[in-house]
């Protein structure tokens, strides 16, 4: 099946099978920031935006993205670099495998929530798993990015 999709502002025509998930299609198209960590929608590594809302691309059939907009980490490099530097400053970078999905959710959260509480931040990011850092350093970096540091 041929789908028409806008990825990071670029109109694309992509062939996909009826069972292909968005994550696979994006990786095959060269968007390597989209990663697979679990295939069960439990880790958040595959987070992208579909029409500006975060989704787990491992659970979205690619054909449902026909005539829609998808944003990957490659499409938000300036904001991602800022968050990345804050994560490094707080010692939350470690292996970095989870960073793309986490960063996509952090940016989406900043666009959605104004002056969030710590509880709201933790709730928003609950689906992002990290096997290396522990979450306190990530939380400090997120608070700085959101402008709600203590």
| Predicted confidence band of residue 24 (pLDDT cuts 50, 70, 90) | very high
| 103 vs 82: CA distance, rounded Å | 10
101: which strand partners?
Answer: none
Domains and CATH numbers, the chain: 2-74 (3.10.20.30), 76-146 (1.10.150.120)
Higher per-residue pLDDT: 94 or 121:
121
Closest C-alpha to 22, from 59, 52, 49 = 59
What pLDDT is attached to residue 146? Answer: 94
What share of the chain in percent tops pLDDT 70? 99
Segment 104-118 shows an average pLDDT of 95
pLDDT single digits (tens) 31-86: 999 999 887 889 999 999 999 999 999 999 999 999 999 999 999 999 999 999 99
| 109 vs 36: CA distance, rounded Å | 22
Q: What is the residue-averaged pLDDT of the chain?
A: 93
> CB count, 10 Å around CB of 95?
10
Q: DSSP labels for 7-65?
A: ETTEEEEEE--TT-BHHHHHHHTT-TT---S-SSS-S-TTEEEETTEEEEGGGSBGGGG
């Amino acid at each position: 099946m041929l789908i028409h999709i806008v990825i990071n502002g670029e109109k694309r025509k992509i062939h996909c099978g009826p069972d292909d998930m968005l994550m696979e299609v994006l990786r095959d198209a060269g968007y390597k920031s989209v990663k697979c960590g679990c295939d069960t929608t439990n880790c958040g590594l595959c987070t992208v935006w579909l029409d500006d809302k975060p989704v787990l691309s491992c659970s979205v059939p690619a054909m449902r993205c026909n005539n829609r907009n998808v944003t990957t980490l490659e499409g938000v490099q300036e904001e991602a670099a800022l968050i990345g530097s804050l994560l490094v400053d707080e010692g939350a970078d470690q292996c970095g495998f989870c960073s793309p999905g986490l960063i996509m959710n952090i940016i989406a959260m900043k666009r959605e929530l104004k002056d969030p509480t710590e509880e709201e931040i933790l709730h928003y990011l609950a689906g992002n798993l990290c096997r290396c850092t522990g979450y306190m350093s990530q939380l400090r970096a997120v608070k700085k990015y959101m402008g709600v540091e203590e």
